[in-house]
Amino acid sequence: MRFRPPRFRTVLPVLLPLWLPLWLPLCLLVADGCAPKDSRETPKLLIVASIAPLGSLASEIAGAHADVLIVVPPGMNPHVFDLTPELLRRASDADVLLLNGAGLEFWAGKLRENIRNSALMEITATDGMALLGGHDHGNPHFWLDPILAMEAARRIRGALVRKDSSHEATYRANAQRLLDSLGILHADILCEVATWRKRTFIATHATWDYFAARYDLQQLATLESIPGREISPREMADIIRVMQTTTTTAIFAETLSSLKAVEMLATETGARYAVLDPLGSPQTATRYIDLMRYNLRHMSGIMR
């Protein structure tokens, strides 16, 4: 008797139960990949922030709904920074422009004119803020006071809610977490500063005025009345006399400035100095709250 192979229609009902568990996941995967995307999905915002501390606040509030581009890169001084063609290209599609104000971004006009988005929303953190003196437009370094940083965070939250109301709940929840963390930071600084024996200091630049005002410290003099300009011998002699008459032995130096004058002053007076970072970098910290804690630790090293 000759063997006849079974026809396909005879085999299929027998093998189909065996094949189905293997093929079903693949079919579902292909179907999912081919399914149309939700046309209602909102694209990410592009937030262009002038300096890293503001960018950090914006990033925490926006979360996954925005990309943040920092204009002034780590290690650069915003007082003497100049825009590059590559940065202008990357910033041209901005949805939100976040500026510090108070004259810090002398290049803001050029940046603004380069942005092609007619619906651009601009936020200036210092608008309506009570600024300290020391600069032509007021002292711009408000962010080094956590309470004023909270004020800026609320302004950013409001702007993002207006710009992208579809994610309002997320922005509000993220902002509240940030505000709570900033409140804890402020309380921790108060506790730490209360342990310091010293209350006066000399600074490289008028960067820490807001911090000093908030935490009952006194900045007696600065080594740079104009960013990047070397101190004169006469100015150095005046500062030495101030330190000697007030028994001030702490100097707040900065990562963005030369240590030459700081080291000379420390040698002449026996003072100690801490190298602080007002803007943040991968070498110190990039998140605002972490940066403030970094600076606080280094301050404590010479103020206790």
pTM of the entire predicted model = 0.85
pLDDT at position 152 over 50: yes
**Domain 190-303 homologous superfamily, CATH:** Nitrogenase molybdenum iron protein domain (3.40.50.1980)
Question: What does the buried/exposed string (b/e) look like for 72-90 if buried means 16 or more CB atoms within 10 Å of the residue's CB?
Answer: bebeebbbebebeeebeee
- The H-or-E segment that residue 128 falls in is none
Domains 45-189 and 190-303 share a fold: yes
Check: CB of residue 99 under 8 Å from CB of residue 156: no
Amino acid of residue 2: R
How many whole angstroms separate alpha carbon 239 and alpha carbon 69?
40
The number of beta carbons lying within 10 Å of the beta carbon of residue 157 is 22
Q: How many residues does the chain have?
A: 304
- Read off the pLDDT of residues 59-83 as tens digits, 9 standing for 90 and up: 999 999 999 999 999 888 898 899 9
Please give the single-letter amino acid code of residue 42: T
Please report which helix (H) or strand (E) contains residue 47, including its range. Answer: strand 45-49
At 90 the pLDDT is 97
Tell me the per-residue pLDDT of 159-189, one tens digit each, with 9 for 90 and over: 999 999 999 999 999 999 999 999 999 999 9
The Cα–Cα gap between 139 and 125 comes to 13
**Domain extents for the chain?**
45-189, 190-303
Q: 108-149, pLDDT tens digit by residue?
A: 999 999 999 999 999 999 999 999 986 678 999 999 999 999
- The whole-number average pLDDT for the span 14-38 is 43
pLDDT given for residue 137 in this prediction: 84
CATH fold of the domain at 45-189: Rossmann fold (3.40.50)
